[in-house]
């Protein structure tokens, strides 16, 4: 029999084997026995080689090409390799990546200096029409931040950002608020409908003024108690700033009742709040369950969200006489002053947070 030479085909003791290289095996292609050496084994090896060629061609076609030298894409790629990028909170990096999905296809392969004001104006208008004004505002906000980064790496001049000639009006902010009685009804409705994890997270979110993402990530290891009640020590997901998430006795009772109902002991670093399947709440499952309970309690026309709790707590506190600076301590943000991107973390003032809690109780009366 003539010797047949096929890529990655070897013969041992009269039997043929298709034996891909280590790099190929890492991509999922395994060593395969083809049977006794002969036409059928050769055909099997040829078929496997064809699959490998097809995979290689597809991989080459979809492989990202190197950014054009001097382009905005290259600037962003270099920025993502710096410690400064890694210092950003995870939620902030997500916002940048989300905006880049719109910026990159349009402006990624050009030098920043090639972009004009009319380009940005048309770009923003297209996003506003196809998506929303809020998304358009967010993308231009990230564009401006990215321009400053690119300028610091000498890809462009700091003062020549073409977007500065475009009005980036912020869309009207949500103004909807919940009342304490509304929140209490939601807790009761969730518990009665067997959404016990949701009932507990609603009670905790109302008292603590945490955002939904921060509330659903709470762990028992963050919980402590002082002479005035329970408190969770957390770092906010969006900013990384320290926050003291305080609980009233009523919220503590709901939380403890929920924990007792689990029938298991959670580890200190395990997420506390679980949906009815027993899995930790995700962004989607929390939203789905909240909408279901909201409809049970207030009907299908109700559209206030769990995220509106933070605004509601601030309104309640301001009505009770708390200052904006104190409310900022409670919310762990810069509501009482001008935002500063370079602001360093400051110790949270638990006494200020307690003062806001007192003002909220006064405000709801």
Distance CA 244, CA 209 (A): 10
CATH code (residue 213): 1.10.443.10
Q: Where a domain ends, among 22, 44, 62?
A: 62
pTM: predicted TM-score of the whole model, two decimal places:
0.56
Same domain for 326 and 190? yes
* Residue 2 placed within a domain: no
Same domain for 294 and 230? yes
Same domain for 76 and 58? no
Same domain for 221 and 242? yes
Q: What is the span of the domain harbouring residue 110?
A: 72-165
The per-residue pLDDT string of the chain (365 residues; one tens digit each, 9 = 90 and over) reads 456 678 898 888 888 898 888 888 877 888 888 889 888 989 998 999 888 888 887 776 665 667 889 999 999 999 999 999 998 888 889 899 999 999 999 999 999 999 999 999 999 999 999 888 889 999 999 999 999 999 999 999 999 999 999 999 877 766 788 899 999 999 999 999 999 999 999 999 999 888 898 899 999 988 888 778 888 888 765 666 677 888 889 999 999 999 999 988 888 889 999 999 889 999 899 999 999 999 999 999 999 999 889 888 888 887 777 777 777 777 766 544 434 322 322 334 566 677 788 888 887 77
Q: Where a domain ends, among 18, 43, 62?
A: 62
Same domain for 326 and 307? yes
Same domain for 50 and 188? no
Same domain for 118 and 187? no
* Residue 202 placed within a domain: yes
Same domain for 224 and 81? no
Same domain for 294 and 233? yes
In total, how many domains does the chain have? 3
Same domain for 263 and 131? no
């Amino acid at each position: 029999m003539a010797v047949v030479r096929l890529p990655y085909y070897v013969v041992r003791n009269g039997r043929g084997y298709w034996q891909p290289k280590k790099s190929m095996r890492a991509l999922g292609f395994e060593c395969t026995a083809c049977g006794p050496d002969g036409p059928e084994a050769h055909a099997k090896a040829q078929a496997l080689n064809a699959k490998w060629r097809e995979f290689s061609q597809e991989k080459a076609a979809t492989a990202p090409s190197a950014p054009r030298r001097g382009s905005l894409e290259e600037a962003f790629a270099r920025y993502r390799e710096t410690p400064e990028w890694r210092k950003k909170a995870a939620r902030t990096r997500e916002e940048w990546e989300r905006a880049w999905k719109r910026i990159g296809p349009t402006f990624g392969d050009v030098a920043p200096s090639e972009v004009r004001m009319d380009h940005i104006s048309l770009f923003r208008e297209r996003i506003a029409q196809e998506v929303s004004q809020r998304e358009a505002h967010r993308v231009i906000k990230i564009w401006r931040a990215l321009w400053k980064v690119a300028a610091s790496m000498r890809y462009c001049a700091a003062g020549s950002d073409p977007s500065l000639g475009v009005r980036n009006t912020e869309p009207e902010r949500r103004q909807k608020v919940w009342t304490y009685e509304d929140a209490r009804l939601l807790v009761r409705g969730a518990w009665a409908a067997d959404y016990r994890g949701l009932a507990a997270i609603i009670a905790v979110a109302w008292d603590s003024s945490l955002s939904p993402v921060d509330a659903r990530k709470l762990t028992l290891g963050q919980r402590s108690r002082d002479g005035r009640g329970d408190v969770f020590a957390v770092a906010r997901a969006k900013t990384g700033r320290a926050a003291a998430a305080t609980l009233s006795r009523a919220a503590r009772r709901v939380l403890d009742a929920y924990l007792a109902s689990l029938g298991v002991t959670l580890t200190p670093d395990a997420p506390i709040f679980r949906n009815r399947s027993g899995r930790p709440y995700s962004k989607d499952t929390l939203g789905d369950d909240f909408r279901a309970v909201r409809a049970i309690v207030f009907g299908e026309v109700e559209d206030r969200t769990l995220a509106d709790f933070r605004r509601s707590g601030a309104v309640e506190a301001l009505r009770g006489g708390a200052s904006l600076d104190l409310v900022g301590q409670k919310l762990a943000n810069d509501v009482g002053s001008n935002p500063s991107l370079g602001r360093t973390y400051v110790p949270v003032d638990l006494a200020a947070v307690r003062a806001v809690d007192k003002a909220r109780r006064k405000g709801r009366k």
